[in-house]
Amino acid sequence: MRKMKHILCVTAVILFSSLHMMSQAMPPSHCPTQPSEVVATYTAREIPLNAAHPASEWRNANPVLICADWQGKNPDELRQTEVRVLWSRQTLYLRFECRYRELFLFSDSDPDGRRDHLWDRDVAEAFLQPDPSHEHSYKEFEVSPNGMWIDLDIFPGGPADLKSGLKKSVVLDEKAHRWTAELAIPMKALTQNFDPKTIWRANFYRVEGTQEPRAYMAWLPTNSPEPNFHVPSAFGRLRFAAPAGGK
């Protein structure tokens, strides 16, 4: 009888351990419902970029999540990304906090870190459209887990290098399978006459892998038959929260 209890106990422990391992390895069955609007929180000062030790202002910015693919399917908790946005009169700030399964990186770039075709490896991406009346014109920003970047001006007949003057900070924690990037983009590179009362359009994405099927993940799904992030009609709203006091 004692031997039987021992066997049952050992079996239960093994079963529990197996279920626990499976729960860690398997993605969740769904993603939280995402709002179609992201709010940029106002900061009165120009904040220092430090992905490892973020400025206190980031705590005031509510994140949106990237956790499913470009069709809103195949949620994957182990590739989930939180995106936060801040703004000042001079700068738009983005912060990506990314979980990953594996790393696929370029080892070469321009001296300043710019890397053409960066999207062929792991990246976080932001597509920003300051003027929604020009549906097919927007700005594209990408950053990789090892700090490479690219910025592009997308328009009919384009794209072209944006040369935005963005600044960045990136930290990679391979033990925790996480990487974080902060970007500071000059407002003058995004729009000539910034008006915080204007509602922009935007979407955010993640790519992981080098061979198909790669992981193509989106904040708001583009619902294209094949992976395609360049679907402005699927962009969400980017609203600028008013400064305290409304000034």
Cβ pair 237, 36 in contact under 8 A: yes
pLDDT above 70 for 64 = yes
Q: What is the pLDDT of residues 174-218, one digit of tens each?
A: 999 999 999 999 999 999 999 999 999 999 999 999 889 999 999
Cβ pair 236, 202 in contact under 8 A: yes
φ, ψ at 180 (rounded to 5°): -135, 140
Q: What is the pLDDT of residues 43-57, one digit of tens each?
A: 999 999 999 999 999
How far from the centroid of its chain's Cα atoms is residue 50's Cα? 17
pLDDT above 70 for 3 = no
Q: What is the DSSP letter of 13?
A: H
Cβ pair 36, 220 in contact under 8 A: yes
Those residues with Cβ within 8 angstroms of residue 107's Cβ, 6 or more apart along the chain or in another chain: none
Cα distances from 25 to residues 21, 79, 81, 101, 129, in angstroms, run 6, 11, 17, 10, 37
CATH architecture of 37-246: Sandwich (2.60)
Q: What is the pLDDT of residues 133-163, one digit of tens each?
A: 999 999 999 999 999 999 999 999 999 999 9
The residue type found at 145 is P
Which helix (DSSP H) or strand (DSSP E) does residue 10 occupy? Answer: helix 2-25
Mean pLDDT for the chain overall: 90
Cβ pair 216, 17 in contact under 8 A: no
Alpha carbons 141 and 105: distance in angstroms, whole number: 17
Integer-rounded Cα radius of gyration of the chain: 21
Query: Which has the higher per-residue pLDDT, 238 or 14?
Result: 238
Alpha carbons 133 and 137: distance in angstroms, whole number: 9
Q: Quickly state the pLDDT bin for 60 (edges 50, 70, 90).
A: very high
